[in-house]
A and B are shown apart, each in its own frame.
Chain A
Amino acid sequence: MRKSSEVVVLGIETTAHTFGVGIFSNKRGLLANINDSYIPPEGGIHPREAAEHHASVAHEVLAKALSTAGLSIQDISAIAASFGPGLGPCLRVGCSVARALAAYFEKPLVPVNHCVAHIEIARYLLKVKDPLVVYVSGGNTIIAAYSDGRYRVFGETLDIALGNCLDVFAREIGLNFPGPPILEKYAEKGKRYIELPYVVKGQDLSLSGLLTKGLELASGGVPLEDLCFSFVETAYDMVVEVTERALAHTRKKVVVLTGGVARSKLLQRKLKEMCSSHSVEFKTVPKEYAGDNGGMIAYTGYLCIKHDITVPIEKSYIKPRWRLDEVDVPWFDEQ
């Protein structure tokens, strides 16, 4: 049961391979975080197949989240969903569910930016006020920090995302999904460093050349361990270098790592080392909230509703290309 003055937000994550439902209460914190990811039997994520997966598990995930929280849908104050950025077909499923719930049960509908949610959940769980954020996942590679009302992008990938690069490389050389842990396991046994394209352009990085060259060498009989070692070292070193550049520019005192690839032990170690050389604190978001999850959407939905950020159902279009730096974050100084 919801107490009086309690605000409970149900959040739906639906941007890519994960359909997730989280529930956040301003009195009791995160009450549920149930996620179901689509893992294709072979190849990469086909947006339509992922969308079909979401549609088929939506009911179950929703029911499980509510029962975990011990609430009924009547107890929910608002429905939030990730409106973008992401894959159109996937966004359409989650947002349809959100619209249906909002319309039928007469709850306000809250549009949440997926990237903002990754940052907010990290700040909330790690109790960090004003970090430089390293957000690395299958779809995004962004170095961001707050300035003048929004999260500004101080560095990002010019082409593919870090997680995408590592996943595709692992898959094409015959290893399993997800890429980072298995590549790092092989990398530990690698001895020889093979020079690969290292592309840092100003504050940004580019990973597509690395992927192409890596795959080319893989088919040319280079020892797998050496190749994995060189591949992950090169990829992570680029990310750490652009982070260091952003750090020198913004002079923030804390660096926070978030997103699916935040689980990487090697990347954590490298960032930590870079941070300590600048006497800056380093923190990583807990595993459960590193990848895409409903909890972060619910929490960010709560921050939005506090500032009356809602959308009428007839205008609730999805935003597949919704950038992080287009979103005002009026709640920034409040926590």
Chain B
Amino acid sequence: MKSMYHGSTNNEEVLSWGAEAIIVKTAFMELPAVKKIRVPKSYRCRELDISLRKRRTLLEAKLMFYSIKNGVPTPVVYFIDLVNTTIVMEYIEGKLLKEVISGKDLSSVAVFLEKSGYYTGLLHEAGIVHGDLTTSNIMIREPAGDITFIDFGLGAFSKDYEDQSVDLHLFLRSLESTHYSIAYEAFKHFIKGYSKARGENIAKKIQSKIKEIRMRGRYVSERKRKYEE
């Protein structure tokens, strides 16, 4: 299938096949690019499926655009194809934060965590929440070492402290699940960067919100004691 917006269709390669979308490496005007295609879901009610895919594609592209506008690096959006619910964007040469951290000494990766925190702070200042902020959705560009946020598929425009805290909480959870031994120290570096972008007061507020979230349903034991003596 040849379409108007890429330079070549011969060298396409599926990078990942997720629940919602397929990520394909391609080219756009001779530039290395990535296509995120939200594929139709045959199980879903047709009208609902089309409306969801369109809405999510558009929202994701908008979020990326406004992030960049506010100084937070994401892949640059090259093209939006709403008919095929596809975003064509910049291909990032680099590694996932997850890969960069794992097996490393904390002191050698502290700078990346602090930067991640700083840009997350900028993102929140701009009224954007990422929605799936894990160490798998932050990339370190090679060779320069700059931070880039990817996958805004679950993001939203929100200035709500609650939503912002959920972002940070999820990041902490991802540290706990894959980098357990350094999780809390690593999170301190992240918070240091976050405070730089948002100021100490807001950062403190957000941190106490995170504690509150931990007390809710899924994160159990402290909360349970309250109910079951």
Contacts and interface: CB of A to CB of B under 8 A. Distances in A.
Interface of A: 153, 156, 193, 195, 198, 201-202, 230, 233-234, 237, 240-241, 244-245, 247-249, 269-271, 273-274, 277, 319, 321, 323, 326
A181 to B, nearest CB: 19
30 contacts: A153-B218, A156-B218, A193-B46, A193-B47, A193-B48, A195-B47, A195-B51, A202-B131, A202-B154, A230-B45, A233-B48, A234-B45, A234-B48, A237-B44, A240-B43, A241-B41, A241-B44, A244-B19, A244-B20, A244-B41, A245-B20, A247-B19, A248-B19, A273-B42, A273-B43, A274-B41, A277-B42, A321-B227, A321-B228, A326-B220
Given A244-B19, A248-B18, A237 B131 contact: no
Of A193, A269, A271, most B-chain CB atoms within 10 Å: A193
A234 B51 CA distance: 12
A234 B174 CA distance: 30
Contacts of A247: 19
A55 B224 CA distance: 29
Closest 4 CB pairs of A and B: A248-B19, A233-B45, A193-B47, A273-B43
B16 to A, nearest CB: 9
Interface string B1-29: 00000000000000000111000000000
A295 B132 CA distance: 40
B52 interface: yes
Interface string B188-228: 00000000000000000000000000000010100010011
Q: Which size bracket describes the interface of B in this complex?
A: 20 to 34
A323 B227 CA distance: 13
Contacts of A271: 43
Contacts of A273: 42-43
A287 B163 CA distance: 41
B60 to A, nearest CB: 14
Nearest to A234: B48
Given A195-B51, A202-B154, A245 B19 contact: yes
A240 B43 CA distance: 8
Interface in B24-56: 41-49, 51-52
Contacts of B43: 237, 240, 269-271, 273-274, 277
A41 B148 CA distance: 59
A277 to B, nearest CB: 7
A246 B164 CA distance: 23
A177 B41 CA distance: 31
A323 B228 contact: no
B72 to A, nearest CB: 20
Nearest to A158: B217
A229 B154 CA distance: 27
Nearest to A274: B43
Contacts of B46: 193
Interface in B120-173: 131-132, 154, 170
Nearest to A246: B19
A218 B45 CA distance: 20
B228 A237 contact: no
B220 to A, nearest CB: 6
Contacts of A241: 19, 41, 44
Q: Which of B43, B51, B220 has the most CB of A within 10 A?
A: B43
Contacts of A248: 18-19
Nearest to A193: B47
A240 B44 contact: yes
Contacts of B48: 193, 195, 198, 233-234, 237
